[in-house]
Structure 1
């Protein structure tokens, strides 16, 4: 595990894939050297590794597997074979003979962060100088951050949650110690991991601030929203709704606010001008420090290949996804029908050029859609319509934001409309992967399938279909398995 942690630290630094010096293995981790006062532990919670993947990482890999996108041959396949494997939902993504020993970036960063988080959780209460309340607050932030990471891992390396099988489905190892010499890790079950995540969030909640020091760190609203989202994903709607309501109540003055695209995209608006290369140049998608809509700010690079492991070169919206947008939907201004070289896309397909940096913590727009879906599933149709229309009125002219009457009065149709609104809001940014997984086991979406299309230059196409349920789960990479002998892998 020590070798694994060393490997993961190497591959998740800003200079990804350069070699680490062998002597690094013998260096005492930073936390062991300096963390003694409460202030020291507080500063550890400001680590950019907990929120900043603007060079490589975050949901770059996840975004390649969602089904709202397609790819243009020539622009896509020449960038990275790992991109191709993820796009095709191949069984094996990372091979043991890779000369660069590349590993999944999100897995690497979360496991690396787990060391620091466990150190804070296990030691901060014995630190000097701080008050008991300060120590408890820091510990709560670390526990909530650990829970956020574990929720990502369980949605990549374990089956979607189903109450009937979660007690036997293989989970992901629960890591609670800051010990790089540990060698025995057990996968446990999906239920055990979800119970652990819920315990971390629930026990952290009383000690968290209503107003965070900065929105890269945890707050009551962030944890209430996360916990509500997790319950929603588990199908526990009655448990989810009170928490989602509480998250809105705890946003407070100066908290996250929705941009109104009717203003920011209007002539003279704050997001203009619109660049031929980058879309709305002053929009949050082109600024990695804009936290306006973030309840919990986490950001990752989501633009073209720039010396990193992944990029979105050649990725376009599927025609089916593009058809979900109304003509007046201002989110369409984040897309262009031009290729990176300025030429028109021959098939009229759209690429997302107005979001260089995607947020993947907890955005206010997602909180509205989570609560809308939860209300719809509990048959509060008017409440669900109100929430989804609040978001839509900030993304298009108010007259077009109304949910169609035929949808608003039909529970199943409304739920599906809200799921589609999640696509309209977050297409090509990774969110859809999590929805694909949970919808695959949702009785309302029985028979759902997922496909990718590669558009060749000669006009022909190649289609790939995700093999369910196996490829809704990633295999654990070779090096992870190598240092955990006897641990079962995913098929």
Structure 2
């Protein structure tokens, strides 16, 4: 049986035509891209599945999740010569929370993600015109469900950088992101509200849930477990903890395996395998030069590094010493490009946090200890205890930061947690003897819409 990595010549030709259709001019902005549908020849369910399975392009589907915010999320620092040598001005600006991030450069997080959304809308538009009969209904459902999941995943990722944190009191008036749900460029791009943005994300995922199998054939495809995981992540970013709990629990009913870190090599340069048994859905972040771990560019925040106990295997599996500095090893998932997908460790932490917020301290600590037991050296782990639900919550949040480090989630966490004075954080750093800070709930937690998009489409800009 052929896998997604061994496509037929006919399907490969279709993919090349689609890629050529999309990558037509570096001068165009993605919201104004005009796909020439006459060049696209897919006509069957298999054709559309092959398009969704294509990952040969650098901006398609399982790659390049928005991650510029990770540069400024406070878990890494850079030496001044390293900062000066970063590949992009936008990285240097993101690191210092400079209001003018792009300085004339291409906004990679925005462009690459809307490129994928254009592809997803082409598939959704096309598969709707392909008859589904009883011999192909499962495959037809998989194509539509996958495209809906991808689109929800991409809209959520954009919302973390380009929209305010969800606030139920203002979400219906706060500006969200432009919502594109079809490939017709003649439909004018407008900014949805934050409420409309999250409504679409949730609705896409709920529909995908009815179409996808419990488990996907490959970790680069979504199944129901991935949908439940993404719903729990989305509701966490909305601080809707009852629903986040519901979907985290549903996810763990389908996929609950954890790696025992005692089985991993602490001396390996890639200790955690790419498609390990925790991975529910595989996706990688945009790769910025600040994430480089060999020079090192990325130096681990010392407070974060020192928060790992000596017998906590994550300290040796996640990090290494280079030239006297602590930097990261290969990403969770075994690649140099950081992992941003969905895995069971994240879902255990979501459910644990939700239990704590429901004042179910015993269940919260049980989930936390289930995870940590697999992370500590055999025979050394003493189960955590908590004096009350608030104590449990703070312990879980501390472990969430340690477990999910450099996985593209910290910025979203900061935005939601900054709404509560008990968990609000002021980020600070020093570069070339000058101090910088980012206050909780600052406008700078919302990235600017790329100026070219504002100029071409008339979109209202985010305040700086």
Whether these two folds match at TM > 0.5 is yes
Question: Measured at CA, do residues 116 and 122 of structure 1 come closer, stay the same or move farther in structure 2, by a change above 3 Å?
Answer: same
CA shift digits 1:146-199 (9 cap, x unpaired): 1111101111111101101111110101111112x3362111210111111111
Deviations 1:179-224 (A, max 9, x none): 2x33621112101111111111112211111121211111101111
For each residue in 1:395-423, what CA deviation from the matched residue of structure 2 results, as whole angstroms up to 9, or x when unmatched?
11255444543xx2321121121111122
1:324-383 CA distance string (max 9 Å, x none)? 1111111111323333xxxx24xxxx2113432322121111111111111111111111
Corresponding position of 1:382 = 362
CA deviation vs aligned residue, 1:242-282 (integer Å, no higher than 9, x gap): 2111111122xxxx7432111213xxxxxx6x3xxxxx234
Which residue number corresponds to residue 471 of structure 1?
444
Matching of residue 331 in structure 1 with residue 326 in structure 2: no
Q: Deviations over 1:298-324 (max 9, x none)?
A: 12475857xxxx746532122211221
Equivalent position of 2:137 in the other structure: 132
Distance (whole Å) between structure 1 residues aligned to residue 237 and residue 289 of structure 2? 31
Residue 323 to residue 336, structure 1, CA distance change in 2 (3 Å): same
CA contact (8 A) 1:60 1:300 kept: yes
Do the aligned partners of residues 83 and 411 (structure 1) sit closer, same or farther apart at CA in structure 2, a change above 3 Å counting?
Answer: same
Deviation at residue 137 of structure 1 after TM alignment = 2.8
> 2:285·2:408 contact (CA, 8 Å) conserved in 1?
no
Equivalent position SS for 2:196: helix
CA distance in 2, matches of 1:430, 1:464: 22
1:299 — aligned with what?
A: 284
> How far did 1:128 drift?
4.7
TM-score by length of 1: 0.80
Q: Give the distance between the partners of 1:26 and 1:121, measured in 2 at CA.
A: 17
What SS does structure 1 have at the residue aligned with 2:227? helix
1:33 to 37, 40, 56: 40
* Structure 2 equivalent of residue 114 of structure 1: 117
Q: Secondary structure at the match of 2:128?
A: helix
- Match of residue 162 from structure 1: 167
Conserved in 2, the CA contact under 8 Å of 1:9 and 1:109? no
Moved more, 160-169 or 380-389: 380-389
Aligned to 2:300: 317
Tell me the secondary structure at the aligned position of residue 430 of structure 2.
Answer: strand
The one of 370, 375, 388 equivalent to 1:410 is 388
Aligned residues: 428
Distance (Å, rounded) in 2 between the aligned partners of 1:423 and 1:107: 25
The aligned residue for residue 146 of structure 1 is 151
User: Which structure 2 residues correspond to residues 43-58 of structure 1 after superposition, within 5 A?
Assistant: 43-48=50-55, 49-53=59-63, 57-58=64-65
1:8 shift after superposition: 8.8
Report matched runs for 1:388-467 at 5 Å.
388-405=368-385, 408-446=386-424, 448-454=425-431, 461-467=433-439
Q: What is the alpha-carbon distance in structure 2 between the residues aligned to residue 68 and residue 371 of structure 1?
A: 23
Whole-angstrom CA distance in 2 between matches of 1:371 and 1:443: 22
Pair 1:450–1:480, CA change in 2 (3 A): same
Which residue does the alignment assign to 2:8?
none
Correspondence for 1:352 among 324, 328, 343: 328
Go from structure 1 to structure 2 and tell me whether the alpha carbon gap of 1:434 and 1:399 turns closer, same or farther (over 3 Å shift).
farther
Q: Which ranges of structure 2 fall in alignment gaps of 5 or more residues?
A: 1-18
Q: CA RMSD in A?
A: 2.8
Which of these residues, 264, 271, 289, is aligned with residue 283 of structure 1? 271
Tell me if the contact between 1:215 and 1:295 (Cα under 8 Å) persists in the aligned partners.
yes
